[in-house]
Each structure stands twice: as C-alpha cells, then as structure tokens.
Amino acid sequence: MRLPQHHALLWILSLNRALCSVPRQVTWSDKQFGPDGPWQAVTVSMGSNYTELVVPSSEVALYPGGSWESRILLSSICDNKTLSSVCYGDIAGLFDSDISVTLDNTSIETAPDGNWGDLSWGYTDAVPVYARATRAIDWMTIDGSAVPEVDLITIAGGWQTYPGGQAYPLEVGILSLGSPDINQTFGAVIKINATFITSYFYDQSGSLEIPSYSYGMHIGSAPLGIPGSLLLGGYDQNRVMGDVSAQAFSSGSFPIELFDLGIGVAEGGSPWNYSNKSGLLAQGNSSLASGLRVIVDPANPYLYLPQSACDALAAELPVTYQPDYGLYFWNTSDPQFDAIVTSPSYLAFRFGKNNLNNEYITIKAPFALLNLTLQAPLVETPTQYFPCMATNSTPALGRAFLQAAFVGVNWFGGKWFLAQAPGPDGSFIVDTVTIGDNDSTISGSTNSWEDTWQNTWKVLATRSTNSTTSNTSTPQPTTSSTPTKTNNVLSPVVKIGIIIGSTVGGVLIISLLSALCIRRRRQRRDTAIRDQNQISETQMHQGPGSLTHQLVPVEAPDSIWDQRNELHSQERYEMGAERGPFFELEPGKGGGREAVFELPGRMSGVSLNVI
C-alpha cells in the first residue's frame, strides 16, 4: 500500500529497485479458473491500442510456466456457438487482437499460419487441441512493465478433445516463462526475433533487469488457500522445503526420472489397512520398475501416466474410472473419501535426484490437493475427481502435481529445479532469494513440511491393528512453525538509502544508488544473494514502480548476451519424437539455404501440410 507517510521511503525503494537488479514478483489474479481446477493464474495485458504510449488493450489471465511461445486465446474463439453457447474464455479474458496496433501476425511465416491444425499444448497430447492458430508477436505488459515482440501463438478458434471423443472449448491460455534461448528467431533472410518476458527483463538494459534469466514458481491451491508464487530472476525460499533436485532441461521441457509412486500417511492413523504402500508405479507393469521419464509441465492439468500406474493408484482409492474423460471420479459418499482427503495422507512421487539413479527426492502431494473439481462445460454439476489420466504418449505431471511442488529454472545455468512446496499453513511472507546468473543449484528452507499442513489436516486415530504409523515420518517437534528468519534485515544499500533519503535531495540519492548498483551488478556472484528487502516486496505487489523505465524499452547495446545467443541460435531442428506430424524443411527453399528457425521440440509441434 502506498501510505502517504511511507511515500518518501517507497520512492527511494522504487528507485533502488529501478537501478538495482532484484527478482520481481508477479501478481496473481484473484480469480480461480477451471474447468478442472480450480487453478490460479497470473494476469497480463496484451497488445496496445495507442502507438506512442502503448496502452494495453486486453487483460487476460494465463496459466504460467509454459516455454517458448505463449498461447493466447483471441476474442473470436467464442464466435463458434456450435461448441458452446457460453463463452468460457471470458472468465480469464480474451485478447481482442483487432484493437492492438502493435500486433504482427504476418511477418513470421512459420506454421501455425492461420489454418486449422493440431496444436501442441504443453508437452503431452492426452487431450489434443485442434485450433486455428497463428504465430504472432505483440506487446505484453506484466505488472506495469511492458515487453515488446513477445513470442505468441494466437488462437482464433479451437477446442480440446477428451478421450471419450467429446470436444470442449479452450478456456485459459499459457504464459511462457522462457526457453534456453533469449529469443526465438524466425526467417532465413530477414530474421524476426520473438522474445519472452523473462529473457527481456533479464537481457534488455532499461527493462526490469532481473538478476538472471530464471524463475521460481509454486502455483499453490485456491480452495486450500495456498497463494500462488512466481518470482522472475529468483524464488521465494519459503516455497522450497528441504532438498532441491537440480537437473538438465531438454529444449524447453523439464524431464525427470520417476522411480516410484506410493501412498503414505504423515501422522496418526491411516485410512487404509496399511500405513504406507510403495511399488505402485510398477505394480501393473514390472518394466516400469526401472523408472519412467516424465515431464513436469505447468501448461497441463493432470497426472499423465501409463494406464497400469493410474489403475494401481485407483485400486487404493474410492474412485471410479470415467471413460468419457479418461479421469477418475471420487465416490464422495464413501466414508473413505473424507478420511483420505482430510487426513495427512499423501501420494508420494519418488524421483531420481540431480539426474542420478541412486539418489532420490520424494515429493508428497497430499490427497487434499487431489480432490479437484470438474465444472461446466465438462460436466453439468461440479464433480470431484482424481486427476490421473492414462496416456500412451509422453508421461507428464501437470498442475495437479505442481500444487505440492516448487518448480524453477535457470535457463543459462542449464538446470531446472524441483522441491517440496509448503501446505496451507506455511509462511507466505516472501523470502526472496536471487538466482545468480549461472547458478545451477538453489537452496531450500529448513522449515518442516508437516508443520505447513498441521492446522489443516485431521489426524486419524491410530488403530489397534497392524496399521500403526511409522515414527519416522512424524513431524519433528523441535522445528518451530514460525519460519526462522535470520537474515531479515534491510540490506546496507537500502539502509543507506533511507538515512540519506530523509536528509538530502533526490539527485544525490540517484547518483549514490546508481553507483552502488553498478558496483553490485559488477559483483554478481555465483551464489544466491538474499534480497532481504521485505518492504520492497510488499510494494512490488502493487507493481514494479520503476518510474523511469516502465513502458520505455531501451535498445540494448551490443552485449555479451548477443555473443551468448550466438551459441544458442545455431540452426536447430529438434523434432519431437512423440508428436507429429512436424515441420518438414524443404531443401532449397529460401534461396539455396534452408530456412533457419528454431524449432522447440514438441512445444511447436503443430501439424502442417508440407508445402
């Protein structure tokens, strides 16, 4: 809040931020989105309706965490009333591209080019999307900071088809948070650069200048009151509980080896006649005992696993399979349902840690988070479902999983990060930690995960049978439930700013802060720098307040990033193996030289008739 008495202080802090390189917090929409959540999303403004000042033309909510192109639904998506008389896309907002004066949907000649075709949506195709889509670039404004030439696929019409064959409208688009490259470059002769909000904020001087081309995210849960967290250039350490696994990404995707699925109870009695059960991944197919490579995919909602694994999980739960949806409905009248989703019961995902196959990290997703709701238009009345969907193609863990997990990436550090995220009773005071330029690891908090659920779950009485709970998983009473904040003081830079700001004039402050920040930027360390500035965090929520730089993109001088991009922007033709058909390059096209464009694997796998 911009309280008057804090005005001077906030002004100094905003200057400090404008000049220094700190992670930026992204504001989440206060609405919830479906039709299979409820999920949380972030709000951005698309396009512009006035060239000089670039006034955003449409506000839309997007599910964050995609890579390469953002997927933006256009107003025309609701024109076809055959599919649905209700415009579900209106809930999140649609982009009225006719108003935007900066939209360019003709310069990039790579498919999708405005014709109908299969459109990839994240990294799995268990619910295929068919759409009339076009590559485009346009401005995107996020928390008041505008980014030009954002890499987009605009969708003028389309639907998703569930396993039973029924088509449903698309409701919410996807916000890309980068790729291994600064830009996606199209065209053989004239190169068109399409950029990403994260790379732009990092790379372009005069923009927000986040400390690294990275982000840290926990999508949280609306019904359980876990707010979403998304920081660009850093992460909130309170969202990273304990061990972190860091592993290589592949093109824009986040693969990891899943070694097992299990069921456990953190504390007290069990709703089952056992206290824990492992081996569920391979129970119905022993060849999965050696592990299954899955992709963690914020762009998709469910847990996409082999049929045998979904069946093994379902056999332990009061659910019934629904072939129309390929999902399982909870039997809410079975007393075991309440016991499972209100008790400390969880689904355990055991992964190989740090790309190793002899070290493990287990993410626990409490069943409370897996009591999700299908809504219209998928079903007539809201229906509780368990989000396992069988797939023969790429196995993936979508938002259902990410409610319980922290995900982050440092695109130039070469690694993506996975860790346990807190429950509803965690600390949602943002403890900002910077991700350094080339960092390939991040560190978590030592707070107890069990404590972050303690007030929410109802511990069952221990039965006098064999189903006693294990002592090993009970919360350690030594861990305080209030997060330990040892470094919670203002940084010297800010302290100096405050002292001086209360005595002398603005010019001196600016030059002093500039000097400090320049030195700080030069000193960029490999290790994470804690940003202890809690006050500025609160204000960041209101918007980045970078008075001078907002909406004024500055042409970047030649920088080291241009050189670095050279390394990345060599011709790459990464054809997705699982999805097709893919672009095929016609030799000789483009004046003897093959068209140069970067094809981001499955993400851009849009079927196209070879020209």
Ligand X SMILES: *[C@@H]1O[C@H](CO)[C@@H](O)[C@H](O)[C@H]1NC(C)=O
The two beta strands, 599-600 and 573-574, are parallel
Peptide bond just before 35 cis, omega within 30 deg:
yes
Identify which range of 14-22, 192-200, 230-238, 595-603 contacts ligand X by CB under 6 A: 192-200
Q: Does 141 bind ligand X (CB under 6 A)?
A: no
Q: Tell me which of 120, 184, 342, 375 binds ligand X, using CB under 6 A.
A: 342
Residues 574-603, interacting with ligand X (CB under 6 A): none
Q: Does 183 bind ligand X (CB under 6 A)?
A: yes
Return the number of the residue (55 or 510) whose C-beta is nearest ligand X.
55
Identify which range of 14-22, 333-341, 357-365, 416-424 contacts ligand X by CB under 6 A: 333-341
Contacts 24+ apart (CB under 8 A), 594-598: 594/188, 595/110, 595/187, 595/188, 596/185, 596/187, 596/188, 596/191, 596/571, 597/110, 597/184, 597/185, 597/186, 597/187, 598/181, 598/184, 598/185, 598/186, 598/569, 598/571, 598/572
Q: Report the nearest approach of ligand X to the CB of residue 489 (Å).
A: 25
Contacts of 543 (CB under 8 A, 6+ apart): 27, 143, 144
Q: Report the nearest approach of ligand X to the CB of residue 333 (Å).
A: 5
Return the number of the residue (438 or 488) whose C-beta is nearest ligand X.
438
Packed helices 7-19 and 506-522: angle between N→C axes, nearest 10 degrees = 40
Helices and strands: H and E segment counts in the chain = 9, 32
Q: Does 331 bind ligand X (CB under 6 A)?
A: yes
Q: Tell me which of 32, 285, 440, 481 binds ligand X, using CB under 6 A.
A: 285
Q: Does 473 bind ligand X (CB under 6 A)?
A: yes
What φ, ψ does residue 44 adopt, rounded to 5°? -130, 165
Contacts 24+ apart (CB under 8 A), 499-503: 501/8, 501/9, 501/11, 501/12, 502/8
Return the H-helix or E-strand segment holding 564: helix 560-568
Q: Does 250 bind ligand X (CB under 6 A)?
A: no
Q: Tell me which of 166, 320, 357, 455 binds ligand X, using CB under 6 A.
A: 320
Q: Tell me which of 333, 482, 570, 609 binds ligand X, using CB under 6 A.
A: 333
The label of the residue with tokens 């499955």 reads 602
Q: Does 195 bind ligand X (CB under 6 A)?
A: yes
Q: Report the nearest approach of ligand X to the CB of residue 569 (Å).
A: 7
Return the number of the residue (224 or 585) whose C-beta is nearest ligand X.
224
Q: Tell me which of 91, 109, 114, 590 binds ligand X, using CB under 6 A.
A: 114
Return the number of the residue (157 or 483) whose C-beta is nearest ligand X.
157
Q: Report the nearest approach of ligand X to the CB of residue 563 (Å).
A: 8
Q: How many residues bind ligand X (CB under 6 A)?
A: 60
Residues 44-103, interacting with ligand X (CB under 6 A): 49, 55-57, 80, 82-83, 97-99, 103
Q: Tell me which of 101, 227, 243, 308 binds ligand X, using CB under 6 A.
A: 308
59 forms beta bridges with 45
Q: Report the nearest approach of ligand X to the CB of residue 499 (Å).
A: 30
Residues 389-448, interacting with ligand X (CB under 6 A): 437-438
Nearest to 328 by CA among 372, 271, 381: 372
Specify the DSSP class assigned to residue 233. Answer: S
Return the number of the residue (137 or 405) whose C-beta is nearest ligand X.
137
Q: Does 475 bind ligand X (CB under 6 A)?
A: no
Return the H-helix or E-strand segment holding 499: helix 492-501
Q: Does 125 bind ligand X (CB under 6 A)?
A: no
Q: Report the nearest approach of ligand X to the CB of residue 259 (Å).
A: 13
Cα separation, 396 vs 178, in Å, equals 19
In 357-427 the beta strands, taken as DSSP E runs, fall at 360-366, 372-374, 383-386, 388-390, 396-397, 405-410, 415-420
The label of the residue with tokens 């193996």 reads 577
Q: Tell me which of 556, 585, 595, 608 binds ligand X, using CB under 6 A.
A: 556
Cα separation, 540 vs 25, in Å, equals 6
CB 161 within 8 Å of CB 152: no
Cα separation, 529 vs 519, in Å, equals 14
Q: Does 486 bind ligand X (CB under 6 A)?
A: no
3-class state of residue 530 by DSSP = strand
Binding stretches for ligand X (CB under 6 A): 49, 55-57, 80, 82-83, 97-99, 103, 105, 114, 134, 149, 156-157, 159, 167, 182-183, 191-193, 195, 223, 264, 273-276, 285, 287-288, 306, 308, 320, 331, 333-334, 338, 341-342, 371, 373, 384, 437-438, 465-466, 470, 472-473, 524, 526, 556, 560-562, 565
